[in-house]
């Protein structure tokens, strides 16, 4: 009982200064923006109120906490999280400061909530459950980002052969490589089209095609896309016709997609063993053998 009171007090004592520093830092930024937009106070207020409560409260708090803790964070961790956000397509929407702040704020808030609720009646199982949930809250943002990145990588791998076919047809019809990419970006909304759109923006800002392709492969971290980028670079360096290279790449990617589909089909019987043995067979045995068992018991 006294231990839970001390834990609750410590959680509150740690949470309040962190929240105050986060809000204070974001308030300074708000004051500077308001001074710059002093001629349009109504439109600025309306634009802010249109945002959700999470964007107006939680995101600034996480960004403020992360910005203050970022100076104590190893550079390698920051670089790894930036690459993970880029792979998930969250660059520009979520920063490494917000990710770090979420990893700190979520355990504090959840731990404080459980500490207050368990102060009156604390048992060993409830304390263990609270600790487990708090630990999961610490690693939760990383797991969410990784899950989004994996789904995005699977989507890019799935649509890559079709996109290569479209590029091949467009280039053979007389369009340039950038114009063919712009056509795909304009007509499609999948993850690969978004990556191509960012690549075209890099080229428009003065980045060379080779460097833009390298940045595309580094952001996506998809093996098939890295193979495509390497082949395009070699074709440009050796003077091989682009249409021929794209046609060969599209054929190769279709074959790889077919092999992956066959591999998943071969894995399906093994994956069906566990749900079949744990869920279907027991119910089937109960339905078939149950009446015989009841009749046997009544007979004797």
Q: Model confidence at 31, in pLDDT bands (50, 70, 90)?
A: low
Kindly list the distances between the CA atom of residue 175 and the CA atoms of 39, 166, 202, 235, in Å, as whole numbers in the listed order. Answer: 47, 11, 20, 17
Q: What is the mean pLDDT of residues 81-110?
A: 83
The model's pTM: 0.70
Q: CATH classification of 154-257 is 2.30.30, yes or no? A: no
Percent of the chain with pLDDT over 90: 1
- In angstroms, the CA 53 to CA 160 distance is 38
CB neighbour class for 295 (10 Å; exposed up to 12, middle 13-18, buried from 19): exposed
How many residues in total does the chain contain?
300
Q: What is the pLDDT of residue 37?
A: 53
* 32-46, 92-106, 232-246, 259-273: segment of lowest average pLDDT: 32-46
- In angstroms, the CA 206 to CA 202 distance is 7
- In the predicted structure, residue 253 carries a pLDDT above the cut 80: yes
Q: Model confidence at 187, in pLDDT bands (50, 70, 90)?
A: confident
Where along the chain do its domains lie?
Answer: 2-122, 154-257
- In the predicted structure, residue 181 carries a pLDDT above the cut 50: yes
- Mean pLDDT for the chain overall: 78
């Amino acid at each position: 009982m006294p231990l839970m009171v001390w834990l609750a007090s410590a959680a509150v004592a740690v949470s309040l200064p962190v929240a105050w520093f986060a809000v204070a830092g974001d308030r300074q930024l708000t004051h500077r923006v308001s001074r710059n937009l002093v001629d349009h106070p109504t439109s600025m207020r309306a634009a802010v109120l249109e945002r959700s409560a999470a964007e107006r409260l939680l995101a600034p708090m996480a960004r403020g906490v992360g910005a203050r803790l970022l100076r104590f964070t190893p550079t390698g961790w920051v670089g790894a999280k930036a690459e993970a956000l880029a792979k998930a397509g969250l660059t520009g929407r979520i920063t490494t400061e917000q990710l770090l702040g979420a990893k700190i704020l979520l355990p504090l808030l959840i731990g404080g909530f459980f500490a207050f609720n368990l102060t009156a009646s604390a048992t060993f199982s409830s304390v263990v459950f609270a600790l487990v949930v708090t630990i999961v809250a610490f690693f939760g943002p990383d797991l969410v980002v990784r899950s989004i990145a994996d789904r995005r990588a699977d989507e890019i791998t799935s649509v890559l052969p079709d996109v290569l076919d479209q590029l091949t047809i467009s280039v053979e019809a007389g369009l340039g490589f950038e114009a063919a990419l712009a056509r795909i970006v304009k007509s499609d909304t999948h993850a690969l089209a978004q990556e191509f759109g960012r690549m075209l923006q890099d080229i428009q800002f003065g980045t060379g095609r080779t460097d833009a392709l390298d940045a595309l492969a580094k952001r996506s971290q998809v093996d098939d896309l890295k193979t495509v980028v390497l082949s395009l670079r070699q074709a440009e360096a050796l003077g091989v016709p682009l249409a021929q290279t794209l046609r060969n790449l599209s054929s190769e990617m279709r074959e790889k997609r077919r092999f992956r589909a066959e591999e998943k089909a071969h894995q399906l019987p093994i994956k069906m063993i566990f749900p079949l043995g744990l869920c279907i067979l027991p119910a089937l045995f109960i339905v078939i053998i149950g009446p015989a068992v009841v009749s046997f018991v009544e007979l004797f």
